[in-house]
Chain A
Amino acid sequence: MASRRPSDPASLQPVDLADVTSDFDSPDAPRKNRLDDPIRGPKLGPLEFLRWVWRVLTSMRTAIILLVLVAFASIPGSLVPQRSSDPNGVSIFRDTNPELFKFYESIQLFDTFTSVWFSSIYLVLFISLIGCIVPRTMYHWRILRAEPAAEPASWARLPYRRSERATQGAAVALDRAETVLRKAHYRVVRDDTSIRAEFGYLRETGNLVFHIALVGILTTLAATGGFGWSGQRVIIEGQTFTNQLASYDSFHPGSWFAEQQLDPYGVTLESFTPEYTKDPVKDVWMPIDFTATVTVTEGDATHEVILKVNEPLVAGNSQMYLLGNGFAPVITVRDPQGTVVFDQPVVFLSQDSNLTSVGVVKVPDGLSEQLGLQGFFYPSAVDLESGALSSNNPEPTNPTVTFNVYTGDLGLDSGVTANVFQLPVESLTQIAGRHTGTDVVLSPGEVFELPGGLGSIEFTSLRRFIGVEIRHDPTQMGVAVSTFFIVAGLLASLGTRRRRVWVRVRGTARIPELEWGGMSRGDDPRLDAALDRLVEKTRQTSTDKVTGE
């Protein structure tokens, strides 16, 4: 143990820390404000100026202002749709408010949390934080190895004091006080006539661990975030997804992503079973369970796994989450000779709680004209008074597909990426469906003959699909470990009191007394009771040598 206490804590603490350590270190020093006005402008050279900037930056006041700033700077992230969490909302915003969109875009409001202004606030906050914790850690390291503080010059200034007759002599009483303090986990230094004891180093340790762990989170995100990736994919019953870049419907690579990161595996959707119940009050169907049975193939091994909401599937270095589902009617299109020109399940996106869904079929080749179908799917079709159809149940009790049929240039050859869920109906000619006099309404197995001998459409069968997100997030481990230390540090720091207790021998040689004094750093009204307990235990140990506690 080092024999001397660090002498100048002042330079190692934020300038405006309220429960100033120098006060705590020497309680009877006059309450001298070592920096009466720490934030006053300098009159000296550039080095002093830098020092002043650093002191301001690492002051507690700056930390508070930056914390409040970060809080306020986050608000736009909840008011304006964000690309990261709501890309669709951003597109809608662009379409409805093109002028405002340009302005918002120019100040990065759609990317609040990666924007220059938000990043600069939290980076300054973290620089301030690091500038604060590095010297504090050094100081605390020295304190941890130092002896308890020396006895105060003026006991009168100690907030809590006790006096107790030492009936069996000063030395014996002091011995016992030492034992009691050690049992109470104080760090104790004893000499002939006095004891100095200190407790609660864990408070500052926890505080520092908490703040270092915050830096740990930021470092993890910065160092490993770029290796992450995520992608979305729709898998229809019977289909197999193989984990390679081309298999994804959409893919979001981190900045350091490389294709070799995708572990080879395949996932086949065997079946998907939802379960619904009727909300008795609102009289609508509500999903209560989604179960996807999938077969995972990794190397030569194949195993069946259940994928559910809240229960992701782990495959390779990635995880697969069940996020959506719907119907994929199998549509078969034949030419006039009966040759199949199109035959596959088509994903229909659900629009309401009874899974009324919309989808698009594009048949560019095989017929005399390009054919486009705008489809509506009703799992449980019922006729409305208006003559239109509606679905009254999300389960396929009466599955029905209706189509608006178009011919013309589907625009697939123009080189522009076409949205699979949209038909350029303005430039096409409707030949059947709503408002043409020839409705196309099909149940499974039914065939519709296209007008003009173009061919036929069949609603062949019905399958379901699931929408999954596949994700590799290398930040998880580092963030989880940091979070553990955040909690541990927070609890240790808030649950520990920093206390000092001194004991000295007073009175006369014939009637010696033990005098106790205690002080705390910050508010600690319970020190009073704690001191009572220490004195009481010392007294008990005196009368009955056996009892330790």
Chain B
Amino acid sequence: MTNSLESISLIATYSAMAVYTLAFILFTVDLAGRAATDGQSTPTRWLRSAMAVLVLGFVIHFGADVTRAISAHRVPWANMYEFGLTATLVLVGVFLGINLWRDVRFVGAFVSGFAILALGIVTVNFYVAVSPLPPALQNYWLVIHVCVAVLGTGFFATGAALSASQLFQQSREEGKLQTRSWRFLSAFPSSESLEALAYRILVIGFVFWTFTVIAGAIWAERAWGRYWGWDTKEVWSFIIWTLFAGYIHARATRGWRGRPAAILSLIGFGAVLFNYGIVNIFFKGLHVYSGL
């Protein structure tokens, strides 16, 4: 029973990747179509289908996550594979959620592309079968601490997509990137609106990350006897927090808005990826829960 659910989850993960790929193609076709009409940023009919396909992918992905949780009898974020699976789900969810509030479909290609890459890497490299939890992880703080970390990561990823678009758009506004292949940027809002949007998303990510660090500290006090001990994961969480604190200040500082702030945001997201992908696998420390 458990095993079959587990394989259903894996099949669903692969299906979600296939559906996301279709969504990615449709998002790109839309951008290309918009670029052809030169300067016009009216969405093509492909955009609606892209969004519909993305929602379908999200539903399948959600199913993969839930079946994984049921087969493991716990939250689906107790090892690297599960973290990646859930964080990507949150990323797509954040993107869909933001669209209810404001039209950001233009970064759909970015988001779906990133989701495919992330899911692919996670499934191929980090997949582990469901296994029991060591005593240190059997705690409700696992639910809280990792959940807010997943949420923070999802918002940081969306913010990074917007900051990257902002950088390209700003170069284009300055007269660079005028070739045909960059014309899709005409479908994007001005770099200033992209920055304002990225800022709002990243600030939410920052709040979640603050909670991640605090919940982690409380748990560390329970499990390891100290709330902060500069474990490698703690070091990198601190680095991420500090970089995004710098980003938030940059937004309020003359001479640092615009490009420098966006670069800081991307460096910050780079640190998030590093903390997940590199620190988990190659660094020694107390957070040895990759399951690999």
| Partner-B contacts on A (CB < 8 A) | 14, 16-19, 60-61, 63-64, 67-68, 70-72, 74-75, 77-78, 81-82, 84-86, 89, 112-113, 230, 277, 279-282, 286-290, 308-312, 319, 321, 323, 469, 471, 473, 476, 479, 483, 486-487, 490-491, 494, 522-523, 525
A286/B138 in contact, CB under 8 A: no
B134/A64 in contact, CB under 8 A: no
Please indicate the chain B residues that have their CB under 8 angstroms from the CB of A277 in the complex. 132
**Which of B138, B222, B225 gathers the greatest number of chain A CB atoms within 10 Å?**
B225
> In the bound complex, what is the Cα–Cα distance between A77 and B252 (angstroms)?
30
Does B129 have its Cβ within 8 Å of any Cβ on chain A?
Answer: yes
A487/B214 in contact, CB under 8 A: yes
Q: Of A70, A287, A479, A486, which is within 8 A of B227 by CB?
A: A479
Can you list 13 A-B contacts (CB < 8 A)?
A: A64-B249, A64-B250, A68-B264, A70-B242, A75-B239, A78-B283, A286-B131, A309-B135, A310-B139, A312-B222, A486-B210, A490-B210, A494-B207
Q: What 1/0 flags go to B98-133 for Cβ under 8 Å of A?
A: 000000000000000000000000000000111111
B253/A310 in contact, CB under 8 A: no
Does B136 have its Cβ within 8 Å of any Cβ on chain A?
Answer: yes
With A78-B283, A289-B135, A310-B136: A18-B221 Cβ-Cβ less than 8 Å: no
Q: Of A17, A308, A473, A522, which is within 8 A of B254 by CB?
A: A17
A319/B225 in contact, CB under 8 A: yes
Q: What 1/0 flags go to B69-91 for Cβ under 8 Å of A?
A: 00000000000000000000000
Does B231 have its Cβ within 8 Å of any Cβ on chain A?
Answer: yes
B291 to chain A, nearest CB (A): 9
Does B279 have its Cβ within 8 Å of any Cβ on chain A?
Answer: yes
At the interface, is chain A mostly helix, strand, loop or mixed?
Answer: mixed
**Which of A68, A75, A81, A89 gathers the greatest number of chain B CB atoms within 10 Å?**
A68
B284/A89 in contact, CB under 8 A: yes
B252/A74 in contact, CB under 8 A: no
At the interface, is chain B mostly helix, strand, loop or mixed?
Answer: helix
Chain A to chain B: the 8 pairs with minimum beta-carbon distance, closest first: A67-B246, A321-B225, A60-B253, A281-B129, A78-B235, A309-B135, A71-B242, A78-B232
Does B288 have its Cβ within 8 Å of any Cβ on chain A?
Answer: no
Please indicate the chain A residues that have their CB under 8 angstroms from the CB of B254 in the complex. 16-18, 60
B287 to chain A, nearest CB (A): 11
B229/A85 in contact, CB under 8 A: yes
> In the bound complex, what is the Cα–Cα distance between A89 and B283 (angstroms)?
12
Does B175 have its Cβ within 8 Å of any Cβ on chain A?
Answer: no
Interface residue ranges of B165-179 to A (CB < 8 Å)? none
Chain A residue with minimal CB distance to B291?
Answer: A282
Chain B residue with minimal CB distance to A114?
Answer: B230
Q: A17-B254, A287-B135, A323-B225 are in contact. List 18 more A-B contacts (CB 8 A).
A: A18-B253, A68-B246, A71-B238, A78-B235, A82-B230, A85-B285, A277-B132, A279-B131, A280-B131, A286-B131, A288-B138, A289-B135, A310-B136, A310-B139, A310-B223, A312-B222, A476-B227, A523-B199
A281/B253 in contact, CB under 8 A: no
Q: Of A14, A74, A323, which is within 8 A of B235 by CB?
A: A74
Please indicate the chain A residues that have their CB under 8 angstroms from the CB of B133 in the complex. 288
With A78-B232, A230-B225, A486-B210: A308-B135 Cβ-Cβ less than 8 Å: yes
Interface residue ranges of B52-77 to A (CB < 8 Å)? none
> In the bound complex, what is the Cα–Cα distance between A515 and B285 (angstroms)?
63
Please indicate the chain A residues that have their CB under 8 angstroms from the CB of B135 in the complex. 287-290, 308-310
Contact residue range for chain B? 35 or more
B29 to chain A, nearest CB (A): 31
Please indicate the chain A residues that have their CB under 8 angstroms from the CB of B276 in the complex. none
B21 to chain A, nearest CB (A): 29
With A18-B257, A67-B243: A471-B214 Cβ-Cβ less than 8 Å: no
With A17-B253, A18-B252, A61-B256: A471-B229 Cβ-Cβ less than 8 Å: no
B245/A67 in contact, CB under 8 A: yes
Does B46 have its Cβ within 8 Å of any Cβ on chain A?
Answer: no
B229/A84 in contact, CB under 8 A: yes
B256/A64 in contact, CB under 8 A: yes
Q: Of A72, A281, A309, A476, which is within 8 A of B221 by CB?
A: A476
Please indicate the chain B residues that have their CB under 8 angstroms from the CB of A312 in the complex. 222, 225
Please indicate the chain B residues that have their CB under 8 angstroms from the CB of A77 in the complex. 230, 235
Please indicate the chain A residues that have their CB under 8 angstroms from the CB of B264 in the complex. 64, 68
A288/B134 in contact, CB under 8 A: yes
B106 to chain A, nearest CB (A): 18
A74/B207 in contact, CB under 8 A: no
Does B48 have its Cβ within 8 Å of any Cβ on chain A?
Answer: no
> In the bound complex, what is the Cα–Cα distance between A471 and B228 (angstroms)?
13
B140 to chain A, nearest CB (A): 9
A74/B222 in contact, CB under 8 A: no
A74/B239 in contact, CB under 8 A: yes
Chain A residue with minimal CB distance to B222?
Answer: A310
Interface residue ranges of B221-273 to A (CB < 8 Å)? 221-227, 229-232, 235-236, 238-239, 242-243, 245-246, 249-257, 264, 271
Does B196 have its Cβ within 8 Å of any Cβ on chain A?
Answer: yes
> In the bound complex, what is the Cα–Cα distance between A290 and B236 (angstroms)?
30
A159 to chain B, nearest CB (A): 14
> In the bound complex, what is the Cα–Cα distance between A17 and B252 (angstroms)?
6
> In the bound complex, what is the Cα–Cα distance between A422 and B231 (angstroms)?
28
Does B143 have its Cβ within 8 Å of any Cβ on chain A?
Answer: no
> In the bound complex, what is the Cα–Cα distance between A86 and B234 (angstroms)?
13
Chain A residue with minimal CB distance to B2?
Answer: A280
> In the bound complex, what is the Cα–Cα distance between A360 and B232 (angstroms)?
33
Chain A residue with minimal CB distance to B199?
Answer: A523
> In the bound complex, what is the Cα–Cα distance between A490 and B255 (angstroms)?
24
Please indicate the chain B residues that have their CB under 8 angstroms from the CB of A473 in the complex. 226-227
Chain A residue with minimal CB distance to B236?
Answer: A78
> In the bound complex, what is the Cα–Cα distance between A471 and B130 (angstroms)?
35
Please indicate the chain A residues that have their CB under 8 angstroms from the CB of B217 in the complex. 483
A60/B210 in contact, CB under 8 A: no
B225/A281 in contact, CB under 8 A: no
> In the bound complex, what is the Cα–Cα distance between A308 and B238 (angstroms)?
29
A81/B214 in contact, CB under 8 A: no
Please indicate the chain B residues that have their CB under 8 angstroms from the CB of A525 in the complex. 196
B284 to chain A, nearest CB (A): 7
> In the bound complex, what is the Cα–Cα distance between A80 and B222 (angstroms)?
26
Chain A residue with minimal CB distance to B271?
Answer: A71
Q: What 1/0 flags go to B20-33 for Cβ under 8 Å of A?
A: 00000000000000
A497 to chain B, nearest CB (A): 12
A133 to chain B, nearest CB (A): 13
> In the bound complex, what is the Cα–Cα distance between A490 and B211 (angstroms)?
11
Does B203 have its Cβ within 8 Å of any Cβ on chain A?
Answer: yes
